């Protein structure tokens, strides 16, 4: 099965970083978050990737085109223009990089890579979220239910205290919202049948709106509940938190060796 990764958005909430590079190339522990996501799937034996590029997509192309340089020590002799590679690192990955348009919406990006998945079932996820999702169990869940699409759902940590306020504007109680009090949300890590392309009209289609809403209405969308670690990298604080976890050896999404 191929893994489709959406990596073309602007990442406006992380503009301090994304002015210079696309969000999937923002680093955690010195490696792009996209690298982390690829490793999660590769750990389960899924090594073929289709990456949907858009904003500053050439940076992603350059990274993978020169991957062996990024991963190796190099001696460069400028007198004769020769280069010697030391400790070359190779990965068992096949990566297709597709320019899906700078202004294309998420659904449109998926539609544009239709030819690369060969009318077969495929994984789909975002290029900015990491987690220790058990992909083998996700796939088994999808196959068991025989629906068009399965989305991984999570309950995010409640970030805000809840106030109960009476008619006189007096706070009657205050409590921190528990994780179980928060609804289930879309965490990406989809499994899709090729029929989902029929639900996407054009470049301006937003995957999270009409396609998923229509799939749900028709009973063709299942939710795989993930109760482990998951975190998106939407803000500088998210980036800082993820780097802190990585540096402290507490990166729960690092399931590979």
3-state secondary structure 135-189: HHHHHHHHHHHCCCEEEEEECCCCCCEEEEECCCCCEEEEEECCHHHCCCEECCC
State how many domains the chain has: 1
What contacts 81, CB < 8 A, 6 or more positions away?
A: none
CATH at residue 240 = 3.90.550.10
How far, in Å, are 56, 86, 161, 164, 166 from residue 169 at the CA level?
49, 68, 16, 9, 5
The pTM assigned to this predicted structure is 0.88
pLDDT digits (tens, 9 = 90+) for 184-228: 899 999 999 999 999 999 999 999 999 999 999 999 999 999 999
Residue 84 in any domain: the answer is yes
Residue 163 in any domain: the answer is no
Residue 165 in any domain: the answer is no
Residue 66: domain span: 2-152+184-247
Residue 252 in any domain: the answer is no
Residue 253 in any domain: the answer is no
Given a cut of 90, whether residue 84 has pLDDT beyond it is no
Report which secondary-structure segment, H or E, holds 77.
Answer: strand 73-77
Residue 119 in any domain: the answer is yes
Given the DSSP bridges, would you call strands 27-28 and 31-32 parallel, antiparallel or unpaired? antiparallel
Residue 177 in any domain: the answer is no
Residue 256 in any domain: the answer is no
Given a cut of 80, whether residue 130 has pLDDT beyond it is yes
């Amino acid at each position: 099965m191929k893994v489709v990764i959406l990596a073309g958005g602007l990442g406006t909430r992380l503009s301090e970083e994304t002015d210079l590079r696309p969000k999937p190339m923002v680093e955690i522990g010195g490696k792009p978050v996209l690298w982390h996501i690829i490793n999660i799937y590769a750990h389960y034996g899924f090594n073929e990737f289709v990456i949907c590029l858009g904003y500053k997509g050439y940076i992603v192309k350059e990274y993978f085109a020169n991957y062996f340089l990024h991963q190796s020590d190099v001696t460069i002799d400028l007198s004769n223009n020769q280069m010697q590679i030391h400790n070359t690192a190779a990965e068992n990955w096949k990566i297709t990089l597709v320019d899906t348009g700078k202004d294309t919406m998420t659904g449109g990006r998926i539609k544009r890579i239709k030819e690369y998945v060969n009318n077969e079932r495929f994984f789909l996820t975002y290029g900015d979220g990491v987690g220790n999702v058990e992909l083998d169990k996700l796939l088994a869940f999808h196959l068991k239910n025989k629906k068009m699409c399965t989305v991984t759902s999570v309950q995010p940590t409640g970030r805000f205290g809840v106030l109960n306020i009476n008619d006189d504007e007096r706070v009657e109680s205050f409590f921190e919202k528990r994780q179980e009090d928060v609804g289930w949300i879309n965490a990406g890590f989809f499994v899709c049948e090729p029929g989902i392309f029929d639900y996407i009209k054009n470049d301006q289609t937003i995957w999270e709106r009409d396609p998923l809403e229509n799939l749900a209405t028709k009973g063709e969308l299942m939710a795989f509940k993930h109760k482990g670690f998951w975190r998106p990298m939407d803000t500088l604080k998210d980036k800082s938190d993820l780097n802190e976890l990585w540096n402290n050896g507490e990166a729960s999404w690092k399931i590979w060796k």
